């Protein structure tokens, strides 16, 4: 009887095994009937049985060059890039440089000047004594000047990209700010405009002092732009901003309460010739937000044949008490206030005998009084 049971179990196991094998064979057959690829698959030309015979890259530059060639090579299958470009045609598109051409300084000249400066410093006895006594002071003005002439424009461009300045003002375009703008709202350094620093509307309530280096006989256009903000000077001779045509007067920053930080961007354009800004002229004073509002990219496209962006500076500002005065007394309108309305915390209906609840359970249902958590 026991032998018969064992034989039956063995036969049943063999039958089940046969069914599972049959399913596996059928699944493999279905997978093997898939359509053949429309073209060669990646790395079909590589002999995987003899990988040691493959040629090595030998250098990173050669690897990078071949990787770029492989990336730009057209393939028969649909890549991730093609899916993304179909959903967003401008994704990955190369931006256009609309700024002044950049001519890097001669490397030989830079090295020669650096060696000459090092030789003069070594022969300077006073400099050696100050360095030994740890009283040497680095002239920050010279450091700033050197930075502006070397890596400054590239650093400013990176900051503008980080804050989305080019993305919002000049879509799919950028420029290298090669002319340094010096903008100050006060006598000290706290009120200066740099590249993303924070200034309060109270500090920027009055028009700033603006200066930049310009050759004699050149013409410039200065633009201050932000949501609802606009200041425009055209046909500025040399670096004298006040001598230019004021097309739209200055209005203090008025970021609405609850909207966070706003960017205020100064853009300097170099003109090829005198420009007629009759269509851009606004009555002074102009307190109409509708008349002051415009798109920077539309203004540039209208005059792009006669001007080129060359300088950039911007700061951030958020609401303070002076904004209320600007809305009420200058703009003569009600001040908009934006705030997040939090819903009241939901509590389930109170029960008479709360089970496994903390001791402060009843504090949730007090009538408008302050909670006394932990005080009993």
Express each pLDDT in 76-113 by its tens digit.
Answer: 888 887 787 777 766 667 899 999 999 988 889 989 99
- Cβ(254)–Cβ(323) under 8 Å? yes
SS3 state at 254: coil
Q: Are strands 192-193 and 182-184 parallel, antiparallel or unpaired?
A: antiparallel
What's the mean per-residue pLDDT of the chain?
A: 85
pLDDT digit string (tens) for 179-206?
999 999 988 778 999 999 999 999 999 9
The alpha carbon of residue 162 and the mean position of all alpha carbons in its chain are separated, in whole angstroms, by 3
Extents of the domains making up the chain = 140-330
Task: Tell me what pLDDT residue 92 has.
Answer: 67
Give 276-308 pLDDT, tens digit per residue: 999 988 888 888 888 888 889 999 999 999 999
DSSP state of 362: G
Residue 337 has pLDDT above 60, yes or no: yes
- Highest mean pLDDT range out of 28-42, 72-86, 240-254? 240-254
Q: Which is nearest to 315 in space by CA: 240, 225, 238, 235?
A: 225
Dump pLDDT digits (tens) for 148-176: 989 999 999 999 999 999 999 998 899 99
φ/ψ of 227, rounded to 5, equals -55, 115
Which residues are bridge partners to 266 per DSSP?
224, 313
Contact present, 277 and 247 (Cβ < 8 Å): yes
Model pLDDT, residue 18: 45
Residue 33 pLDDT level (bands cut at 50, 70, 90): low
Enumerate residues 6+ apart whose C-beta is below 8 A from 308: 98, 99, 100, 175, 269, 270, 272
pLDDT at 10 over 60: no
Phi, psi (degrees; rounded to nearest 5) at 208: -85, 170
Q: Could you tell me the pTM of the whole model?
A: 0.70
d(CA 342, CA 334): 24
Say yes or no to pLDDT of 119 above 70: yes
Q: How far apart are CA 88 and CA 82, in angstroms?
A: 10
- Stronger pLDDT, 51 or 89, i.e. the higher one: 51
- Name the class of domain 140-330: alpha beta
């Amino acid at each position: 009887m026991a032998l018969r049971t064992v034989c039956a179990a063995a036969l049943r196991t063999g039958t089940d095994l046969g069914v599972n094998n049959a399913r596996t064979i059928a699944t493999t057959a279905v997978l093997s009937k898939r359509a053949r690829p429309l073209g060669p698959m990646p790395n079909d030309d590589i002999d995987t049985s003899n990988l040691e015979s493959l040629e090595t890259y030998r250098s990173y530059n050669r690897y990078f060059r071949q990787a770029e060639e492989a990336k730009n090579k057209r393939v028969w299958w649909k890549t991730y890039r093609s899916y993304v470009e179909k959903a967003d045609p401008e994704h990955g598109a190369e931006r256009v440089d609309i700024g002044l051409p950049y001519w890097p300084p001669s490397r030989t000249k830079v090295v020669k000047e650096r060696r000459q400066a090092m030789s003069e410093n070594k022969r300077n006895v006073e400099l050696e004594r100050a360095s030994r006594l740890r009283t040497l002071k680095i002239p920050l003005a010279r450091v700033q000047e050197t930075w502006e002439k070397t890596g400054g424009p590239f650093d400013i461009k990176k900051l503008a990209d980080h804050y989305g300045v080019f993305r919002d003002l000049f879509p799919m375009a950028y420029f290298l700010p090669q002319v340094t703008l010096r903008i100050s709202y006060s006598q000290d350094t706290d009120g200066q405009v740099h590249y993303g620093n924070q200034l309060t509307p109270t500090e920027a309530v009055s028009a700033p002092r603006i200066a930049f280096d310009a050759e004699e006989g050149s013409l410039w256009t200065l633009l201050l732009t932000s949501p609802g903000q606009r200041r425009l000077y055209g046909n500025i001779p040399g670096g004298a901003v006040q001598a230019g045509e004021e097309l739209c007067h200055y209005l203090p920053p008025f970021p609405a309460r609850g909207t966070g930080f706003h960017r205020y961007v100064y853009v300097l354009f170099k003109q090829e010739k005198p420009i007629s800004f009759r269509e851009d002229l606004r009555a002074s004073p102009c307190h109409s937000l509708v008349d002051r509002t415009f798109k920077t990219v539309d203004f540039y496209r209208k005059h792009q044949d006669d001007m080129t962006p060359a300088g950039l500076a911007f700061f951030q500002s958020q609401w303070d008490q002076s904004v209320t005065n600007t809305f009420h007394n200058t703009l003569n309108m009600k001040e908009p206030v934006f705030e997040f309305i939090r819903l009241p915390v939901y509590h389930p209906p109170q029960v008479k005998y709360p089970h496994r609840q903390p001791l402060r359970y009843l504090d949730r249902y007090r009538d408008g009084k302050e909670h006394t958590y932990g005080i009993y």
